[in-house]
Structure 1
Amino acid sequence: MYGSRSQADLTELLETATYPISVATARQEFEDVRLVYADGTEPLAAALDRIEDERFDSPDEAQSSIYNSIPFEGVSEPGQSEGEG
């Protein structure tokens, strides 16, 4: 079980997989992972469900695809504000 991961931890997690890796295999391998967003959490599998790619050839490609699937509201890290004014 991997537990909750912030977006900063995602890079390290994705580097543990063997590439190329299919999106379906990534979904199974990381089924217990929850991403932590500014407005809550989401299973990594749910983010992977929104990805149209069939496989990832590298950790960078996987991370980019996952980041592109994250809802706009979840982009900043927990506890961050958008500033004043």
Structure 2
Amino acid sequence: MSEQVKLKDLEEALEGLPYPLSKQNAVEEVEGIVLRYADGEEAASDVVERIEEDVFDDPASLAASIRNNLPTEAVGEPGQSEGEG
């Protein structure tokens, strides 16, 4: 079963994971989380696969890395924030 997560709630959704977390473990841990974008959605594990960092020390570092690897359409029109459109 997948959990739909809005981008504004991303860090909270990642809080229960066992840190520090390697990139491969992060891919496995976020399996089942679906990120809701302004125009669509994507599996969090697909986004983590694109990240270049190898280790995440806490939810904030993983959430920041995920946000930095989102597609442009994830946040909608310029001026909108967190994909809430």
TM-score by length of 1: 0.84
CA deviation after TM superposition for structure 1 residue 51, in Å: 0.2
State the distance in 1 between where 2:24 and 2:15 align: 17
Aligned to 2:18: 18
The runs of at least 4 consecutive aligned structure 1 residues that moved more than 4 Å come to none
Deviations 1:53-73 (A, max 9, x none): 111011111111000000111
What code does the residue aligned with 2:8 have?
A
TM-score by length of 2: 0.84
Aligned to 2:46: 46
CA deviation after TM superposition for structure 1 residue 4, in Å: 1.0
Deviations 1:17-55 (A, max 9, x none): 121101111111121111000110000011001101111
Gaps of 5+ in 1: 81-85
What code does the residue aligned with 1:10 have?
L
Q: Please, what is the CA RMSD of the aligned residues?
A: 1.3
- Highest CA radius of gyration, 1 or 2? 1
Gaps of 5+ in 2: 76-80
Aligned to 1:83: none
CA deviation after TM superposition for structure 1 residue 16, in Å: 0.9
1:1-85 superposed matches below 5 A:
1-75=1-75, 76=81, 77-78=83-84, 80=85
Change (3 A) 1:2 1:12: farther
Contact 1:23 1:48 in 2 (8 A): yes
Contact 1:2 1:30 in 2 (8 A): no
Report how many aligned residue pairs link the two structures: 79
